[in-house]
């Protein structure tokens, strides 16, 4: 009787061990998934995805990504996040629909690997379901868009300098509401940016996220203060800068006409002697060939003339003129 209990215990031990291993094995996928979601959340922030998207905060420059893993197949999401330009090039129906819905704002190719994309998808799935990897706060929420449009215009044009020494927006961008010339051409025209980016919140998120290489290079070293960004966004979101005013168009036309007049006047002064000393004079000049005396002798042009020109001025009764004509004809034949 005393030996039966240890034997039973030895039989139970393998069962307990197998159950423990099975439980650990079952837990591994969820741990791996959590790790992937955490890495995806970091990528979402590092790649400035929040400049265009929220997860549950509403549409900005691009769509709200909450529940996107249930709306679209995993394979499609992989292809889209990894190479959106290639998907658009294939005229994918859903991709083209998104492009049109969001005013032609195409998603950039961020150069992500397949592993990066899977991590981001894991994060979006976890954040949409309220998992441990909660959604990163949207850039638009820090701060709320409440700025002064007049101050924003002064910051945009450089009348007022940014506190951290950044260049005026006008150095790279043009927009309506700042006069006829409009500004620089390095960056895109911002006249309709509020419409294209889904309103002030979208503009604010985009500026705060610094999603382009040029913006990142400039503003990382000279970051905008929250109130400065809010002021510039308030200026760009105004109805008055959503289109070029008629007055600005007429100003530009007037400057163009004035420039043309100045160029014509300069050309007239510069080439005022073109008829007197240019190509026209030798074409119209009276030749000096002919009689040694009379109205056709002398002059400044010493060129060689055809028989017709020489014949025009020779005296039919002048043997010397006939000899000259003969010698000229002989030279040409030779």
Mean pLDDT of all residues in the chain? Answer: 74
pLDDT of residue 133: 46
**Positive or negative: CA dihedral 166, 168, 174, 176:** positive
The mean per-residue pLDDT over the stretch 293-304 comes to 47
Confidence category of residue 300, pLDDT binned at 50, 70, 90: very low
d(CA 60, CA 145) in angstroms, rounded, equals 13
Write down the pLDDT at residue 205: 86
pLDDT recorded at residue 134: 46
Is residue 122 within 8 A of residue 42, CB to CB? The reply is no
pLDDT value of residue 33: 47
Q: How far apart are CA 275 and CA 34, in angstroms?
A: 86
Task: For residues 28-42, give the mean pLDDT.
Answer: 64
If you average pLDDT over residues 66-71, what whole number do you get?
91
Confidence bin at 274 (pLDDT 50/70/90)? low
Higher pLDDT, 191 or 76: 76
pLDDT band at residue 281, thresholds of 50, 70 and 90? low
The dihedrals phi and psi of 204, each to the nearest 5 degrees, come to: -60, -45
pLDDT digits (tens, 9 = 90+) for 307-320: 555 555 555 555 55
* Range 188-206 average pLDDT: 85
Is the pLDDT at 294 greater than 50? The verdict is: no
- The structural domains of the chain, ordered by start, are 33-137 (1.10.760.10), 140-272 (1.10.760.10), 287-333 (no CATH)
Q: Is 244 within 8 Å of 99 (Cβ atoms)?
A: no
Distance of CA 109 to the CA centre of its chain: 14
Look at residues 14, 126, 142, 3 and name the one whose alpha carbon lies nearest to residue 70. 126
Q: Is 10 helix (H, G, I), strand (E, B) or coil?
A: helix
Dihedral of alpha carbons 219, 221, 227, 231, sign: negative
Question: Considering the chain, what percentage of its residues have pLDDT values greater than 70?
Answer: 60
pLDDT tens per residue across span 122-173: 999 888 887 544 444 444 444 455 789 999 999 998 899 999 999 999 888 8
> Which residues are within 8 A (CB) of 201 and not within 5 positions of it... i.e. 6 or more apart?
58, 60, 140, 145
Reference 204, options 152, 129, 256; nearest CA is: 152
The DSSP call for residue 166 is P
226 CB neighbour count, 10 Å cutoff:
14
């Amino acid at each position: 009787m005393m030996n039966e209990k240890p034997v039973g215990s030895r039989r139970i031990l393998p069962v307990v061990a197998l159950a423990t291993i099975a439980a650990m094995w079952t837990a591994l996928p969820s741990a791996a998934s959590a790790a992937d979601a955490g890495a995806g959340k970091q990528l979402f922030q590092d790649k400035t995805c929040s400049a265009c998207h929220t997860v549950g905060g509403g549409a900005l420059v691009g769509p709200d990504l909450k529940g996107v893993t249930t709306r679209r197949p995993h394979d499609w999401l992989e292809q889209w996040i990894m190479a959106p330009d290639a998907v658009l090039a294939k005229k994918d129906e859903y991709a083209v629909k998104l492009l049109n819905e969001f005013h032609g704002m195409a998603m950039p190719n961020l150069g992500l690997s397949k592993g990066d994309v899977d991590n981001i998808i894991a994060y979006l799935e976890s954040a949409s379901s309220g998992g441990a990897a909660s959604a990163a706060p949207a850039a638009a929420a820090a701060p709320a868009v409440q700025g002064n449009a007049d101050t924003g215009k002064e910051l945009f044009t450089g009348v007022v300098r940014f506190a951290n020494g950044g260049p005026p927006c006008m150095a790279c961008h043009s927009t309506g509401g700042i006069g006829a010339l409009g500004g620089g051409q390095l960056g895109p025209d911002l006249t309709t940016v509020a419409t294209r980016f889904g309103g002030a919140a979208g503009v604010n998120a985009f500026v705060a996220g610094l999603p382009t290489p040029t913006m990142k290079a400039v503003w990382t070293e000279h970051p905008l203060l929250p109130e400065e960004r809010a002021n510039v966004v308030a200026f760009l979101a105004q109805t008055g800068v959503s289109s070029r005013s008629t007055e600005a168009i007429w100003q530009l036309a007037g400057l163009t006409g004035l420039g043309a007049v100045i160029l014509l006047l300069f050309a007239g002064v510069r080439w005022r002697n073109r008829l007197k000393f240019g190509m026209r004079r030798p074409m119209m000049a009276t030749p000096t060939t002919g009689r040694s005396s009379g109205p056709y002798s002398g002059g400044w042009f010493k060129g060689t003339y055809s028989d017709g020109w020489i014949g025009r001025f020779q005296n039919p009764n002048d043997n010397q003129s006939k000899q000259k004509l003969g010698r000229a004809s002989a030279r040409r034949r030779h």
